[in-house]
Structures are given as structure tokens and as C-alpha cells.
Amino acid sequence: MDYQEFLNTKNIKYESVGIDISLSSINPILFDWQKLITKWALNKGRSAIFLDTGLGKTLIQVEWARLLNCRVLIVAPLSVAKQTVRLSKDKLDIDIHYIRNGNDLVSQINITNYELLDHFNPKDFDGVVLDESSILKSLGSKTKVKLIDMFSNTKYRLCCTATPAPNDYIELGNHAEFLGVCTEAEMKSMFFINANKEHTYIIGNKAYYRKGSNNGGTEWRIKHPAENAFFKWLSSWSFSLTKPSDLGFDNDGFDLPTLNINTRFASSKYVPDGQLLFTGLHGIADRVAVRKNTIKERINILKEILDNDNQWIIWCGLDDESKEVTSFLGNNCIEVKGSDSVEYKVEAFEKFQDGKIRILVTKPKIGGFGMNFQNSHNMIFMGLNDSWETWYQCIRRQWRYGQTQPVNIYAILSDKEQEIYLNIMRKDAMAIRLREKLIVQIKKFEETEIGRGNMVEQVQKSTTVSNNNFTAMLGDSCERLKELKDNSIDLSVYSPPFADLYTYTDSIRDLGNSRDWTEFFNHYQYIIRELYRITKTGRLTCVHSSDIPAMKQKDGYIGIKDFPGELIREYEKENWIFTGRAFVQKNPQAQAIRTKSKALLFIQIRKDSSDSRPALVDQILIFKKPGENNVPINPVNNGELDNETWIEWANGIWLGISEGDTLQFGKARDKTDEKHICPLQLGTIERCIKLYSNPGETVLSPFMGIGSEGYQSILLGRKFIGCELKESYFNVAIKNLEKANAQLRMEF
């Protein structure tokens, strides 16, 4: 495989497994942009459609199921299924069969509720649709895992929701896992980093401070260099749209009305049992207790808000709230409870949609997902929990495309629940930012996916800076090393990137940007082969390496991975001879502080030393190109080594090398780098150069970084050639190489 073909395999993209259909075969009632999305989803076979409320995802999913021409099961929230049956018949003239178990299936489109899944055999279906698939994250871990496992072998899968990631991109992992794209853990390890940091957020014109989590890490953020790759990967299996103009279409008829949010706080004297004063809400029990003890005060505010002319939805979170509100309203309302039959719920919702009922009282988990209640434009929350998803979904039952009236939202809480409201508003502000960023970032990739745009690949920069003592090449070593002559290098000294996705760049040319060790070493082989070609026979390469910690999230276990061992095997595959290694002593306390590894902490040997381990030490692996060395290396005659020093160095454990003995690297670090640059210690480089090269010879580094190997080579009277992929590091390397040149001139 040539190098460019290999690079193409590194693109993290989900390939199509579906069918290709013509746009003309799609029902003409769909808008052109809806047809494009339908065609794309059918071609993908397994995908997610994240369309804002009112953009027609129900029509798209039904057409997707029809055009597959096989048996499909649509799974929907309890009350949405019958609404889908009704809409499909009215808009598309398609009969969808509502079923409760696997004994009553039709050959085409069947629909059921999430609660009835246990009554079906997934082998009976060739395709499945999860309607309101954001419910995946609220189903509970057991149900979610069951759902993912149940349809893991279903050929065609489609997820549809308006809100895939309200608080964090990480929630997309639920969808990726259901669709078989990758597991949530794999997605985290590729694109995300644990982020427990303090931060400030803005609501209106006020700033609020929030301290980071101390529970070992529950918050995740996308790696800065990974953003471009993440959105490209995301667009290969999902489609996000907030309005038609996101895809360059006209927004005519798709404008949201005004949204008015009003918050009322009821004064309360509530104090928890056993306390003299109210000291804030502590956990779910406190939140429930406050709501139960302030129902009457909140109903008094409800009386002031309700009018006698409009339809209203009143969202309750507790049975007691729903009971008290219904008792107060009497015959003016209808209450829909969880214990009601499906038939009763459907009938009640349809009566409200048809205007036959003026006030609907229910819970968000019953009517807050998927229902279209734009026949009304007023709603009241009789309290809130901390779920932004619940807040957003309930509001979007009325505030959606097609609504012609301003939507009025009232939240009635006790004064003891202000922190809950602030938490919801914080999440709302975050969700808006994330969605806007998502649409901007993903747009260019989505347009390419549906054939309305062309992806322009980033051109790799390439330049060369030469001096009497050095040649520095900006670019991909796999390509730029080809410019060097056969048997022209006397020694190479370098530290390769350790496989770690999107730490410093987003380039697929970056060896570190590999999904696993197989891909990493497949890429590395191009370097090893070029080094073999350009190295003189009988000469050496010194490779810096270290064992790598295995992490639970990324590797599935906690332990150590033998990176040096893998390097040795890869070099031997390319005919290099492994001749030895040196261990560079490290300070375990400094390493414990830097890495925060519990395995090195004092507390761990007192708690359970079975989880303790020695510090990771650097290893210099030494490889030789077969054949006779035509120019002997004599460091003693060169005045660079004596017998006592040789005894010390030949010990195999290199002592006396300071971990801080490196070039300054602060200015080279980009703000997007996820890790500090780790330049090789100058003392380590010095030993390699003195041992395995003569003054005046040429030293190479295929991963030049900020120029540490070149800096030492010049000061020790050698010539240097270096390659570096990242421009910011390359620029700093040039300064360091020129600094070494200037210092050398001063010595003479």
C-alpha cells in the first residue's frame, strides 16, 4: 500500500451500509431538503437524524421505513406512537400498524412503545427506528444496554431526535453505540478528555461561578485538536439541522415565534426536619421535600396566572402536585397520569390537540417527548427538576415550527429552589452555544455528505531552512525523508510520538493520531523503512521510548503497556538489529506530581500496595543497520569519552541526567495542545551522539520537535538534519538551531 492510500485509511469515518435510491422515489410532499436527508439516511443504512422540532423528522423516518421495503419497527414514547400513526395516514397516506407484541406483525411498518420492547424478537425485523432517541440517556443503564444489545444485529437502524446533546457532546455516544458506530468509551478515548475544571458562566448580565467536580471525573470536553476530526466523523453518521438555511435552503415558513419565559417564586417558610435554618438543597430527597411542602403556595400563584380564554398545559413533577392542581381546577381540566391506560392517554391528548379540552395536566415523562401541542401556546411548570432535557422538551411541544402565536412559559417555584432555576438556565446557555457551534462546524461536512459541497483537503505545508550546520524540513517525515540519499546518515536520535489521539495536531499525518497500536505501527513502518534506507551500513539509530500506562477508559484495564517491546519487534521486522538499551533514571515523586498516578502515591502503599508500581523510566533503544561500518567510531580518540565514563554509561542505567535539562519549550506550545511538549533531555542526546557518531558526521531526527537533537548535534560538532510536522514547533526549532550555531561561533 502506498503512503497516500494508507493515510486515507486513517480517516475516522463511518462507511455506508444502506441502499441507494433516487430523489424522485421519495414522496413529493417532503421539502427538497427533507428528501436529501431521507436519501442520505437510506444510503447510510445506520444513522441519526437530529432535526429541530417541527422540521419533519416523523415524515422522514416513515419514508425511510417505507423505502427500505422490508419489515421495520418504529419504537416511540408511550403517547407518540398513535400520533405517528395518525400523521402518517394524514400526510403520507401510509398505514402504520400499531402493535403490542410480536404476534401481530405486518410485513412493512410496525410501531410500538419503549415500554413494550420485551414482547418482541429483534430477529423479526430488518430495520428499526428509535423515535425521540434522546430518551436513550434517560431510560436507565439497564434498559439502555438492553436496547443496544437487542438491535445490535439489526441491519438498518435510524435514530431521530431534536436534542441529541443538550449539555455535552458526550451524550452522542449513546447514539453511536446503538448504531454500531463505536462504543461510548471508544468515542471518549478518540475525541474527548476528562475536564474537571472551575469555570464561570453567564446568564443574562450576571456571572456565576461553578467549581469543577472532585469525584474522579464526570465531565468531558472535546480535545482541542480533535474538533475538526470529530465533526467530520460525526457527519459521517448523523445529520443536524436547526432550520433549512443551515443547508442553504429558504427558511420560508420555518421561523420560530416569540418565546416569553416568566419565573415566579413563592415565598416559603420550609425548613428541613432537624434543622434550625434552611441551608440549601442537598440531593433529590431535599428537592422532593421542598416541592411537597410548598404546593399550596405555588397553587396560589397558579390562580393569578391562568385565564379563561386560552388552552394551557400544566406540567407537574409529583403525584401530589398533579392531584392538588386537578382538584383546584375541577371540570376545567383533564389529568393524564402514568397509571392511565394507553388508550386513555391517547384519547386525552387528541382531545386537547383538537381543542375539546382547555387545560391539560400531566407529567413531562408522559407528554413531554415527541408530542405536537402547537394548538396551544401557554404552559406552566409547577416546579422544576435539574433536567434541562425535560425543560427543553416540554417547551418544544408548543414552541416549534408551525406555531403562529407567541409562546408563554411560566415556571412556578418556591424561593428555596432558585438554585435549580439557575442550573437549568446555565445548561440552557450551554446548549445554545453547543448547538450553534455544532451546526457551524458540521455544515461543511454535511453538505459534502449529501452532495451539495466539496471537501477541500488541507494542504500539508512544506519548506526547508538550511545552514552550514543544519537542514530543517517542515512536513511529513514519511514523505520528506525520501528526499535524502541512500546511505547518507551516520546516526539518528529521536523520540517518536506515543500513540495518543489528537494531543498536538488534527493531522492524519501525525503518527500519534492513531486509533490503536496496529494503526500506529502501520504508520510508523514508513519511517522505519526510510531510516533503514538512508542510514549507512553498520550505523545506528537511538530511539527514546517508555512504557505507557494503560487506562480503564481507553484500554479497558489499568496496567502497563510494553511500548518499547513493540518498537523492538517493529524495527526487527524491517531488518534492523536490536543491539541494546539504556534506562534513564526518573524521580518517582516528581512523576507522581506530574501524572497524578495513584500507583506512585504514599497513600497507596498504606492503603493497598497491590496497586502500586515503580515509576516509568525512559528507555533508549539502540538498533544497528546490518553490514560493516566503513568509518570506525572512536569516542576515546575523539576526546569525548574515557574508560571511567564508559564504565558508567555501559552500566545500562544512565544516572546523572537531570529531568529538567531540556530546551525551553513554553513558547512552542499551542493553546490547543492537550499536553505539554516533552523534549528529550539534552544529557541523554549527548550520550547517544558521543557514543555512536564522530565529529563532522550527520545526525538525523525524523521527529525534530523544538530541535533538541539538532541543538546538541551542532554544539558537539556534528551536522544535523531534522523533519517536523507541526509548524509552531518547527519555527521554535529553527531559533534553537540558530542559537546553537551562534554559540558555536562564539566558542571559536
pLDDT at 646: 94
The values of phi and psi at residue 41, to 5°, are -65, -40
Query: Are 333 and 362 contacting, i.e. CB atoms less than 8 angstroms apart?
Result: no
| Domain spanning 259-440: CATH superfamily | P-loop containing nucleotide triphosphate hydrolases (3.40.50.300)
What is the greatest pairwise CA distance in the chain? 106
Give residue 297's pLDDT.
Answer: 92
The DSSP 8-state label assigned to residue 284 in this structure reads H
Cell numbers for 712, please give them. 546538541
How far from each other are the two terminal CA atoms of the chain, in whole angstroms? 50
Amino acid at 582: A
Q: At 578, phi and psi to the nearest 5?
A: -80, 120
What dihedral do alpha carbons 138, 143, 144, 147 form, nearest 10°?
-130
Q: Provide the pairing of β-strand 156-161 with 46-51.
A: parallel
| Closest-CA residue to 384 (of 394, 370, 374) | 394
Rounded CA-CA distance 316/292 in Å is 12
On whether the 463-547+563-573+621-747 domain is CATH 3.40.50.150, my answer is: yes
Query: What is the torsional sign of CA 331, 332, 336, 342?
Result: positive
The reported pLDDT for the residue numbered 274 is 65
Q: How far is CA 389 from CA 58, 219, 378, 404, 685, in A?
A: 20, 17, 19, 24, 55
pLDDT at position 138? 56
The pairing of beta strand 72-76 with beta strand 127-131 = parallel
CA distance 76 to 94: 17
Identical fold for domains 259-440 and 463-547+563-573+621-747, yes or no, is yes
Query: pLDDT at position 539, please?
Result: 98
pLDDT of residue 433: 75
Domain spans of the chain, in order of start = 3-247, 259-440, 463-547+563-573+621-747
Whether the Cβ atoms of residue 57 and residue 162 lie closer than 8 Å to each other: yes
For residue 426, which amino acid is it?
R
Place of cell 448523523: 238
**How does DSSP classify residue 51?**
E
Residues of the chain predicted below pLDDT 70:
136-141, 163-171, 195-219, 274, 276, 279, 452-459, 499, 594-595, 665-677, 747-748
What is the CATH class of 3-247?
alpha beta
